Amino acid sequence: MNTTLDVGFKKLETEKEDKVAIIDYNLGNLFSVYHACASLGYNPKITNQKADVIDADYLILPGVGAFGDAMDTLKRLDLVAPIKEYIATGKPFLGVCLGLQLLFTESEEFGNHKGLNIVEGVVHKFPSIDKMGNILKVPQIEWNQIFLTDKTKWEKSPLNCCKNGDFMYFVHSYYVLPSNKSVVLSTTTYGLEYCSSIISNNIFACQFHPEKSGQHGIEIYKSFFGQNVHAL
Amino acid sequence: MKNIRVIARLDIKGPNLVKGIHLEGLRGLGKPEDFAQYYYENGADELFYQDVVASLYERNSLHDIISTTARKSFIPLTVGGGIRNLQDIRDVLRAGADKVCINTAAIRNPEFIKEAVLKFGSSTIVVAIEAIKQGDGEYLAFIDNGREYTGVEVISWAKKIQELGVGEVVITSVDREGTGMGYDVELVKRVSEITAIPLIAHGGAGKLKHFVDVIQKGKADAVAIASVIHYNFVKNNRIEMANKTEGNTEFLESGRHFTRISEPVSILEIKEYLNEHHIGCRI
């Protein structure tokens, strides 16, 4: 009896057949994103192939590093059009950290760089001094709190497993400023109040790292995967 | 309010977690993976693995320990010890680390740090300074886990590190490390006054009030902790060593208490204490 149960359990844990693609563009720690997905029973593919991107059931754009470099690499790998094509299908998309920033129109990081322009807005650097005149350490490397902007929106998003004010792990020097405030899903304060996650149709993207935010963060992945692909 | 990170620092020799005094006289405490998992489940904001003999033997043997931990602990993991080139960084990240910490190779070749920052991004590169106070009150940076003299002065080196573009700095007081006498607040303060990047204080924590001192007076952004939490874990758990040939196992076998650390505490107790003193942190 026990053996049967064991086998059943293993099946549940390892046999999720949904295709999860993690975009590999030679930047940042893809492995922590991979491990987070694997811990939920998925077998994600770390890939830079167009076909994998388009065919995925869930697409994740992670990334730590420089905006300009990242865009150059995405262009060189010919992944800009496939990412846009995927998003247009309405299937769930997750952007993490730089993967959030790249969705925007442009960034002021080391000069000016054009982004994917899927979400209208700009990416700014944190000021070196806060409103009180104190030195603001940049990058922000901190566990910081996320606060909701709209309860209904929050409850329909992958953050529905979180409480208002939960701590998440952040590491970044730049923050996003969306033109359309209605995409802002959560805000966080570091020197100033800024947008720490967005939601826009099938796009969910966050500045913090859910894969590095302990059990709460893993719950966010679970709830991202909980979105019914075929119903969208 | 600023939020302080409480980082569990695990010094590793071969397959074992070890703890010394002034980075020397290493005692074996058990399997690092077990300690890491416990700290992950009990409130650590980050894990920090340091291979303490890597530079000496020019090796980096932590890969298995890193990947076991990365699969189960969903908090940032920094790995240091014996990282000499871009390939070493790539290997450690591939094993599952989020950041690498570099000391010896940074002092020997600062250009390497510049390249690493360009390649992997500021936030992936941490530089460690192992400081020893001199007779004249100045601090000098040492390498090879506090063993080798360089003549490099700590404050000017900290400025230089910042110019190289690294994401954060760990400052270790070799004089205080393992003693439980408290952080060298003066050292931390001097470095934090001239840096605009996050600063992790390490070496000397023995009592709860030491954390408040180094955060409020020293202006540390994060605290790295070893002895106080390790001895608390040892006190409350039955320990198994991964390998008895590396590190001194007498301490564990004898069942003695660690005499220098009079108040072993858990990470949660530290965080509650910080909150009581109006210092923000994740609980």
Tell me the per-residue pLDDT of B70-80, one tens digit each, with 9 for 90 and over.
Answer: 999 999 999 99
Higher pLDDT, B277 or A70: B277
Whether A142 and chain B come into contact, CB under 8 Å, resolves to yes
- CA-closest candidate to residue B129, choices B77, B192, B76: B192
pLDDT over threshold 70, residue A123: yes
Assigned token pair, A110: 């080391």
C-beta of residue B199 within 8 angstroms of C-beta of residue B191: yes
pLDDT over threshold 60, residue A51: yes
Flag whether B127 is in a domain. Answer: yes
Assigned token pair, B228: 């106080």
Domains defined for chain A, CATH in brackets: 12-225 (3.40.50.880)
Q: How many CB pairs under 8 A join A and B?
A: 90
Active-site entry in A37, A109, A209, A219: A209
Report d(CA B46, CA B168) in Å as an integer: 14
Helix axes A80-89, A67-76, angle to 10 degrees: 90
Mean pLDDT within A17-45: 89
pLDDT band of residue A134 (cuts 50, 70, 90) is confident
Whether B70 and chain A come into contact, CB under 8 Å, resolves to yes
B45-72 burial, b at 16+ Cβ within 10 Å, e below that, comes to: bbbbbbbbbbbeeeebbbeebbebbbee
pLDDT over threshold 60, residue A11: no
Q: Which amino acid is at B104?
A: T
Interval B78-89: pLDDT, tens: 999 989 999 999
Chain center to CA of A18: 19
Nearest chain A residue to B116 by CA distance is A65
Q: What is the pLDDT of residue A181?
A: 96
Q: What is the pLDDT of residue B23?
A: 75
CA angle A42, A48, A49 (to 5 degrees): 90
Provide the percentage of residues in chain B whose pLDDT is more than 90: 67
**CATH number assigned to the domain comprising residue B112:** 3.20.20.70
Mean pLDDT within B138-160: 92
Active site residue A35: no
Of A139, A142, A217, the CB nearest to B74: A217
pLDDT over threshold 60, residue A232: no
pLDDT band of residue B145 (cuts 50, 70, 90) is confident
Interval B158-172: pLDDT, tens: 999 999 999 999 999
The verdict on a CB contact (< 8 Å) between B197 and A214 is no
The verdict on a CB contact (< 8 Å) between A65 and B120 is yes
Q: What is the pLDDT of residue B183?
A: 97
Three-state DSSP class for B51? strand
Q: What is the pLDDT of residue B244?
A: 57
Assigned token pair, A122: 């700009």
Nearest chain B residue to A64 by CA distance is B121
The verdict on a CB contact (< 8 Å) between A142 and B2 is yes
> Kind and range of the H or E element at B155?
helix B154-163
Flag whether B283 is in a domain. Answer: no
pLDDT over threshold 80, residue B36: yes
Structure ipTM over 0.85, yes or no? yes
Flag whether B18 is in a domain. Answer: yes
The verdict on a CB contact (< 8 Å) between A32 and B198 is no
Report d(CA A105, CA A16) in Å as an integer: 35
Q: Tell me how close the Cα of A17 comes to any Cα of chain B, in angstroms.
A: 20
Report d(CA B195, CA B135) in Å as an integer: 25
Mean pLDDT within B170-185: 94
- CA-closest candidate to residue A39, choices A173, A164, A193, A225: A225
Interval B118-135: pLDDT, tens: 888 888 999 999 999 999
Q: Tell me how close the Cα of B73 comes to any Cα of chain A, in angstroms.
A: 7
Q: What is the pLDDT of residue A231?
A: 42
pLDDT band of residue B181 (cuts 50, 70, 90) is very high
Number of domains in chain B: 1
Show the domain range for B133: 5-276
C-beta of residue B4 within 8 angstroms of C-beta of residue B274: yes
Q: What is the pLDDT of residue B263?
A: 77
Flag whether B281 is in a domain. Answer: no
CA angle A87, A89, A94 (to 5 degrees): 35
The verdict on a CB contact (< 8 Å) between B281 and A143 is yes
Provide the percentage of residues in chain A whose pLDDT is more than 90: 77
Mean pLDDT within B203-215: 95
pLDDT over threshold 70, residue B245: no
Contacts of A38 in chain B (CB under 8 A): 71
Nearest chain B residue to A145 by CA distance is B282
B positions 30-49 inside 8 Å of A (CB): 40, 45
C-beta of residue B200 within 8 angstroms of C-beta of residue B223: yes
pLDDT over threshold 90, residue A116: yes
Q: What is the pLDDT of residue B236?
A: 80
Provide the percentage of residues in chain A whose pLDDT is more than 70: 89
Three-state DSSP class for B39? helix
pLDDT over threshold 90, residue A210: yes
pLDDT over threshold 50, residue A8: no
Active site residue A211: yes
Active-site entry in A37, A97, A162, A206: A97
pLDDT over threshold 90, residue B281: yes
